[in-house]
């Protein structure tokens, strides 16, 4: 009886200790994330009259966003580029994560360091590097002209393709690192057993590894999609004036136009759309994972 009575107390003490340790971080998150979002939410219902914000409660900022073809185009452009970059990160990153999870090479730590190294460089610096590579006098055009494949430089910079390439390069390490940690927890002897029973590599990979790795794929794709939807430096530097995404659009409204109500509305639309799409993709992947594991 004494032992049974001790368990609830120990669980209560453990919960109190955990809550006490999480309290400071929760306060920081509340102040840094939640409070600004609530402020933007309130500002989005204000009016912008005579170059200043006036207190009100109106939906005209949201109506303006969805009624204006320009901002609808900006929204769908942002979503399309984010979805494409997420798919490219999945296709390019999964083999790398799979290789890092399975390799027993002594150079594995070095490979991981090389993968992490781009994260130590700011997005602006990386975008500047892509400008050097994709410019009219850049590396790609110089190689093509040196091989006599082209006479005039190809316009690679300030195009949607440049934004896709640059954004994918930015988010790819995040996806690989998040997926690698999940793949390293897989017992690959199950895959080897399936191959010993006659299953080919692609069959065992599709029927065993991929379903087990679904939670990691979900986490990686959600993280990458969120980063792509909120990208700022890369679209501005590589897309130029010919391509506008949501983050640069709301930045211009707030900093250049001082239109806090409309900029706040754009920010809230971006946050809500990103959250809905991320939760939907996560739900679909986990639903597929549950069905596969049940069968």
* pLDDT tens per residue across span 152-161: 889 999 999 9
Distances (CA, A) of 206 to 191, 209, 255, 291, 292: 10, 6, 49, 14, 11
User: pLDDT-based confidence at 13, cuts 50/70/90?
Assistant: low
Please identify which residue in the block is written with the tokens 């798919």: 87
pLDDT of residue 269: 94
pLDDT of residue 9: 62
Please identify which residue in the block is written with the tokens 């409660």: 57
Please check the confidence at residue 1 and state whether its pLDDT lies above 50: no
Question: Averaged over 6-24, what is the pLDDT?
Answer: 67
Question: Averaged over 226-251, what is the pLDDT?
Answer: 91
**Which of 35-44, 57-66, 120-129, 187-196 is predicted with the least confidence, judged by mean pLDDT?**
187-196
User: pLDDT-based confidence at 193, cuts 50/70/90?
Assistant: confident
Give phi and psi for 53, each to the nearest 5. Answer: -90, 135
Strand partners for 47: 54
Alpha-carbon gap, residue 260 to 253, rounded angstroms: 7
**Which of 30-34, 82-86, 171-175, 219-223 is predicted with the least confidence, judged by mean pLDDT?**
30-34
pLDDT tens digits, one per residue of 128-186:
999 999 998 889 999 999 888 888 889 999 999 999 999 999 999 999 988 888 888 87
The mean pLDDT value of the chain amounts to 85
Please check the confidence at residue 208 and state whether its pLDDT lies above 90: no
pLDDT of residue 101: 86
Please check the confidence at residue 294 and state whether its pLDDT lies above 70: no
DSSP per-residue letters across 211-241: HHTHHHHHHHHHHHHHHHHT--HHHHHHHGG
**How does 256-268 read in b/e, with b if 16+ C-beta sit within 10 Å?**
eeebbbbbbbbbb
Residue pair 250/266 in contact (Cβ under 8 Å)? The answer is yes
Nearest Cα to Cα of residue 218 among 34, 90, 69: 90
Please check the confidence at residue 286 and state whether its pLDDT lies above 90: no
Strand partners for 48: 53
How many degrees, rounded to 5, is the angle at CA 76 between CA 72 and CA 79?
Answer: 140
Beta strand 47-49 pairing with 52-54: antiparallel
pLDDT of residue 2: 47
Please check the confidence at residue 6 and state whether its pLDDT lies above 60: no
User: pLDDT-based confidence at 11, cuts 50/70/90?
Assistant: low
Nearest Cα to Cα of residue 213 among 180, 190, 191, 189: 180
Select the CATH number that applies to the domain covering 64-294 from these four: 3.40.640.10, 3.20.20.120, 1.10.3720.10, 1.10.10.60. 1.10.3720.10
pLDDT of residue 3: 47
Please identify which residue in the block is written with the tokens 């130029």: 240
Please check the confidence at residue 20 and state whether its pLDDT lies above 90: no
Question: What are the residue boundaries of the structural domains of the chain, listed by start?
Answer: 64-294
Question: Averaged over 209-219, what is the pLDDT?
Answer: 81
Alpha-carbon gap, residue 244 to 135, rounded angstroms: 19
Please check the confidence at residue 278 and state whether its pLDDT lies above 90: no
Question: Averaged over 73-81, what is the pLDDT?
Answer: 95
Helix (H) or strand (E) holding 158: none
Question: Averaged over 47-65, what is the pLDDT?
Answer: 89
Confidence (pTM): 0.83
How many degrees, rounded to 5, is the angle at CA 223 between CA 175 and CA 75?
Answer: 120
pLDDT of residue 53: 87
Question: Averaged over 259-283, what is the pLDDT?
Answer: 89
Reduced to 3 states (helix: H, G, I; strand: E, B; else coil), residue 188 is coil
| Cβ count near 45 (within 10 Å) | 18
* 241 compared with 245, residue with greater pLDDT: 245
DSSP per-residue letters across 121-132: S-HHHHHHHHHH
Structure tokens at 112: 């991981």
- Which residues fall within 8 angstroms of residue 157, CB to CB, at 6 or more apart? 131, 134, 135, 136, 138, 238, 240
Residue pair 192/209 in contact (Cβ under 8 Å)? The answer is no
């Amino acid at each position: 009886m004494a032992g049974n009575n001790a368990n609830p107390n120990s669980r209560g003490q453990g919960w109190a200790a955990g809550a006490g340790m999480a309290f400071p971080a929760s306060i920081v998150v509340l102040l840094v994330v939640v409070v600004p979002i609530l402020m933007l939410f309130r500002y989005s219902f204000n009016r912008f009259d005579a170059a200043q914000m006036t207190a009100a409660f109106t939906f005209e900022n949201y109506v303006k966003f969805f009624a204006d073809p320009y901002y609808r185009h900006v929204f769908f452009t942002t979503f399309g580029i984010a979805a494409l970059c997420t798919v490219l990160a999945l296709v390019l990153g999964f083999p790398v994560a799979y290789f890092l999870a399975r390799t027993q090479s002594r150079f594995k730590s070095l490979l991981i360091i090389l993968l992490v190294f781009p994260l130590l460089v700011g997005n602006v610096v990386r975008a500047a590097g892509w400008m050097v590579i994709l410019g009219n006098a850049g590396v790609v055009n110089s190689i093509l002209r040196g091989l006599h494949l082209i006479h005039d430089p190809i316009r690679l910079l300030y195009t949607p393709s440049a934004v896709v390439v640059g954004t994918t390069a930015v988010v790819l390490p995040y996806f690989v690192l998040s997926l690698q940690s999940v793949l390293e927890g897989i017992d690959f002897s199950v895959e080897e057993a399936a191959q010993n029973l006659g299953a080919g590599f692609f069959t065992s990979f599709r029927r065993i590894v991929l379903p087990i790795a679904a939670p990691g794929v979900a986490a990686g794709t959600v993280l990458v999609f969120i980063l792509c939807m909120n990208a700022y430096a890369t679209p501005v530097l590589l897309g130029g004036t010919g391509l506008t995404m949501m983050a640069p659009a709301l930045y211009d409204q707030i900093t250049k136009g001082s239109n806090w109500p409309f900029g706040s509305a754009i920010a809230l639309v971006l946050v809500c759309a990103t959250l809905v799409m991320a939760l939907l993709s996560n739900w679909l992947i986990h639903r597929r994972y549950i069905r596969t594991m049940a069968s």
